[in-house]
Copies of this chain bind each other. A is one copy, B any other.
């Protein structure tokens, strides 16, 4: 009783197909190629389309949230036509990331309440000063202070030798019509106003007043060049931290830095990275580096120690002590940061050796400190730090996850650059993989999201068991016994850039399991420490590079993220630089970040037996306690 139905695709016309045809097939007939990385197994969610009119039967909705379904989304490979229908096909390059809706770099929204006058500490002040005479021989600096006091009420202002040595000529060059750049302290702060610069000119009102927010990641450094008057971010620039040449992770950096003859090398490298980025951002915005009068900096504790060339060796050894969590304010000139030499460089506060200013900044910008929902905020970059709490309380910890998810410690691991396999789908029957490579072309290794994706697939199709062992008895050339025990070949030599097989080995899987177990144990211990069951967490906010390229469902599959509805996960991008940007604009934000740092209770995991137990329990796929991962249990049940 097969009936023919009209299926209309926006922009591509109408086809007629019999009942029972899949939407994938109908689309093909209409000349549309849908994404199909999992080979039509309904596991990848990339062939999502929207049913505008008519009915289709959804055989599976595995990759769709309830909101998606409510809005009419369906997986084309799992949707069977039973009636006429009108289908919207989203642009395929966009749909690739649809399930991670807020992942891509967005235009930065200026805080709605931003007010330069009341929040910004950098002030640009026009002055018209009565010139000296034999009747009024007041010295230049006192005269300038008097004018500032009269114009703005600013008093007790401080000046550096370098600026003091310039003011005489500037006052006279400008014929006593000048512009002062002043940094005023936050209300209640233990500090004095400072004269940063004086110009022999009155600038047009619309000329930007520049500041820069800097996030020093272990891997990537990010700068946002910002007009402090409007709050607008005019340029964003990011680049690998040059320090990578001397170690991928913070521990190798500390070891390198503490060796004789290496003193100051890592500092120079990160400064060079920042200076390069500032130059690049300035060129994009027609700004000059020495027109930047303020910098806020976040990073983990080790990055901040290295930036200031402060020995970090006590961070590495028990009892894991930083030289300072709240670094003193310094000037760009002292630091040789290539912005205006008098610009204050404000490092946001750290909490502990392994919970840095990136986390305090992220805790602010993620909103965890102001929400009434019980929230888990995590930032898994090269290290794994997380915060659990709400407006009322905050606990934090750091797990020594290691850099496995950044591709280190894995035989064919690499960073997420061109040639990295970022996604893998394995046909459950043929056990053949379907891969997506960053930048297209031949692969040369696996990045973090590729590893998560691969591990999830290996587990779901039964190539590895819950202990991470590879089933070497399977009848496929992809599975074999290599030098590191069992291994799965993702790409054979002839398909790769370097002409060598790309594999994942049992040892690699062990490393990945340890990394994900450390992170999951972190959640567990934090939750236990305050007596809040993990399942009562209402939302998970994910910041940092980790969140930028993974799929939630894959991360849940392997037990890296807790199992909860996808709509409860929010990927916020770089929450660290966002927090630095907030602090750059507003002293109130800056003070709130300080408050967050004071309020957060740090849990030292290395001193905690509960952590060890939680870690051991999490060394399985997805976990020894499968009741913690009901969605994974359901999938495994479907597969079997």
Contacts and interface: CB of A to CB of B under 8 A. Distances in A.
A159 interface: yes
Contact of A323 (B156, B164, B607): B164
Given A168-B323, A323-B164, A352 B137 contact: yes
Copies in the complex: 2
Contact of A134 (B134, B156, B323, B604): B604
A595 interface: no
A314 B172 contact: yes
Contacts of A137: 319-321, 352-353, 602, 604
A434 interface: no
Contacts of A192: 190
A607 B134 contact: yes
20 contacts: A134-B319, A134-B320, A135-B607, A137-B352, A137-B353, A137-B602, A138-B321, A139-B322, A140-B322, A140-B323, A140-B324, A141-B324, A141-B325, A142-B325, A156-B190, A161-B334, A165-B308, A165-B309, A168-B311, A168-B313
A321 B134 CA distance: 9
Given A137-B319, A604-B134, A328 B164 contact: yes
Given A328-B159, A330-B161, A132 B309 contact: no
Contacts of A139: 321-325
Contacts of A430: none
A140 B318 contact: no
Nearest to A328: B159
Question: Which size class do A's interface residues fall under?
Answer: 35 or more
A158 interface: yes
A167 interface: yes
A65 to B, nearest CB: 41
A502 to B, nearest CB: 42
A335 B161 CA distance: 9
Q: Which of A135, A139, A167, A314 has the most CB of B within 10 A?
A: A139
A208 B169 CA distance: 44
Nearest to A143: B321
Contact of A165 (B138, B167, B322, B323): B323
A566 to B, nearest CB: 37
A310 interface: yes
A117 interface: no
Interface in A106-157: 132-135, 137-142, 156
Nearest to A334: B161
B319 A132 contact: yes
Interface in A323-369: 323-328, 330, 334-335, 352-353
A317 to B, nearest CB: 10
Nearest to A311: B168
A351 B158 CA distance: 20
Interface string A42-84: 0000000000000000000000000000000000000000000
Contact of A132 (B165, B321, B328, B607): B321
Contacts of A101: none
B311 A169 contact: yes
Contacts of A322: 139-140
Nearest to A168: B323
Which 5 A-B pairs give the minimum distances between C-beta atoms?
Answer: A141-B324, A134-B607, A139-B322, A165-B310, A139-B325
Contacts of A160: 328
A190 B310 CA distance: 29
A371 interface: no
A244 to B, nearest CB: 23
B168 A134 contact: no
A167 to B, nearest CB: 7
Interface in A248-273: none
Given A319-B132, A319-B134, A319-B137, A164 B604 contact: no
